[in-house]
Structure 1
């Protein structure tokens, strides 16, 4: 157990310097993404601080230097059976992954925000799966548009465009759009996106989940949705259930993604088609 704790401890990312974050990303009226990145860094810092302190205490407790508390014992048991420890779950993002996959996911998330931090500004394309609170991210992008054009944010909604001409989003999308945001990292269950026909299609045999192409979310004023499109619900994890927070947001549901289809939407509803930001593995 001490070796497992030591290996996690060695690879644990360093917390972000919040004082420097405040200087690099000042709170600006015209750039809401600065607030988003600072909030995200703080959330991940709370998790990293918790992991660092608990691992340090657990290794001391194994050696008999301090008392093995109930929390530390639960931490050890979780690591032994490859489950997310309860004390880390409380601080971390919603996830159904086993501990080994979850830890690699946390490292990848921290690397994404380290890239954002080193860049000193919002990147041209965002890995939406790595964002702790994606609802705040989409609200921030909407606020940027509303303040740029002096529009009422209540009259705005997102037009979502599939960038199915893009294969590797981080490498190919090197310039941010004039309005809205580019995102990638979404998965689909129940069907797939046909990049040639630019519409939904049946899943291929033995293919449970598929990757969605990068998306361009562009705010439009008084937009009228196409009634023929399938409104695909997007969740953080595949459990498709969550609780309502006091902010009015769900702990799991993120938003609806409107997708083109040439069949009646009832087909996709009955198939249980949904999008996810993270899988179980």
Structure 2
């Protein structure tokens, strides 16, 4: 309860959400920002996993930092691609192409091959979209 008074996320909440690791917490947000972020994550999870939606209506771009297990999502993409194309999973590699899409809400349909992700950022560097 003292964490709530200090506007911090209680450690057991972080553990429940999978945001605490062996070296400590991965969360650096205050309670209000963390709660807002958790609601966005939950909405994306609901939108992605709605059982009544056909595959064509799934999200065309995934907010990768908003997934509860980003590496699991990437691994699942590799597995699906390997199965569809009868590739060996051991031979699969992640290839990243940076696009000129700056607003994920403008993406209207899924790619026929691969997946679109957004929400990545760089620290200590910059990206010149003109070049």
**TM-score normalised to structure 1 length:** 0.41
Cross-structure match for 1:175: 109
3-state SS in 2 of match to 1:151 = coil
Inter-partner Cα distance in structure 2 for 1:177 and 1:193: 24
Task: Please list the CA deviations of residues 55-98 of structure 1 after superposition, one character each: whole Å capped at 9, or x if unmatched.
Answer: xxxxxxxxxxxxxxxxxxxxx21110011112212112422211
Cross-structure match for 2:31: 99
1:139 aligns with 2:75: yes
Q: Which has the larger radius of gyration?
A: 1
1:77-226 counterparts in 2 under 5 A?
Answer: 77-94=2-19, 95-118=27-50, 120=53, 121=55, 122-163=58-99, 165-169=100-104, 171-197=105-131
**TM-score normalised to structure 2 length:** 0.84
Inter-partner Cα distance in structure 2 for 1:117 and 1:155: 28
Structure 1, unaligned runs of 5 or more: 1-75, 198-281
Structure 2, unaligned runs of 5 or more: 20-26
Inter-partner Cα distance in structure 2 for 1:117 and 1:152: 27
Inter-partner Cα distance in structure 2 for 1:144 and 1:154: 13
3-state SS in 2 of match to 1:183 = strand
Cross-structure match for 1:210: none
Following superposition, the deviation at residue 110 of structure 1 comes to 0.8
Inter-partner Cα distance in structure 2 for 1:136 and 1:129: 12
The structure carrying a bigger strand percent of its residues is 1
Of structures 1 and 2, the one scoring higher in RCO (CA 8 A, sep 6+) is: 2
